[in-house]
Structure 1
Amino acid sequence: MFKPTLPRLGGLLWKIPWRLSPRQKFRQRRRLRAVDTVVDTVAAALERNGMPMAKAIDRWYDEMPREQEMLPKDKYTIYDRKEKKYRKGIHKLPKWTRVSQRVNPPGF
């Protein structure tokens, strides 16, 4: 009647692996590059139409690194002050495919 399985003994069993698969890393790089191309396209369209560059686009170019300039540590992990080494895999963040996590505190 009662089978001692892991979910029944310990509650909810999370099935999140501790590291990203190569396929997930590939898709993460592709998402970062897609965002870079969108920003470049908007900037080129504004320039082509003779409009001034938007403040948000200038700020993006000043603050955000491109996918090629990012270290793998910054591409696949995020800063988390509660973690042992202050980093955790980006896939542990809820909705990690929709949030830009390009800038982390320096030194971590």
Structure 2
Amino acid sequence: MFKPTSPLLGGLLWKIPWRLSRPQKARQRKRLRAVDRVVDTVSAALQRNGGLTTKAVERWYTEMPREEEMVPKDKYTIFDKKEKKYRKGIHKLPKWTRVSQRLNPPGF
């Protein structure tokens, strides 16, 4: 009577492509550059206000690479110890547009 379909067999069927599309990659680069601009703006405003600085801004500059310095592998994928090659597409991460994923373990 009823044919078993994927939603009936396993619940909700997630249709997430295995790689990012060109527009998704462009938007990801745009988001990374926007964050860089915000940090630069905050740093410049603090410098104008009597040469002030904060630990958070200094830490960002020392630890986080800028969008131009990042390898494409780090821009579009994240480290995941459960994956076969220890990498998965950044779009598979929940709320991937709001979380900064600039740092990954070296060598993976």
TM category (shorter chain) comes to over 0.9
Output the aligned Cα RMSD.
1.1
Q: Amino acid of the residue matched to residue 47 of structure 2?
A: E
Partner amino acid for 2:16? I
The one-letter code matched in structure 1 to 2:96 is: W
Q: TM-score, normalised by structure 1?
A: 0.95
1:37-76 matches, cutoff 5 A = 37-76=37-76
**Unpaired stretches in structure 1, ≥5 consecutive residues:** none
Letter in 2 for 1:49: N
- Unpaired segments ≥5 residues, structure 2: none
Aligned to 1:31: 31
Quick one: distance in 2 between partners of 1:29 and 1:15? Answer: 23
Aligned residue number for residue 15 of structure 1? 15
Separation of aligned partners in 2, 1:8 and 1:103 = 39
Counterparts of 2:18 and 2:62, CA distance in 1: 33
In the alignment, what sits opposite 1:99? 99
In the comparison of the two structures, how many residue pairs are matched? 108
- Structure 1 runs of 4+ aligned residues shifted over 6 Å read none
The TM-score with structure 2 as length reference comes to: 0.95
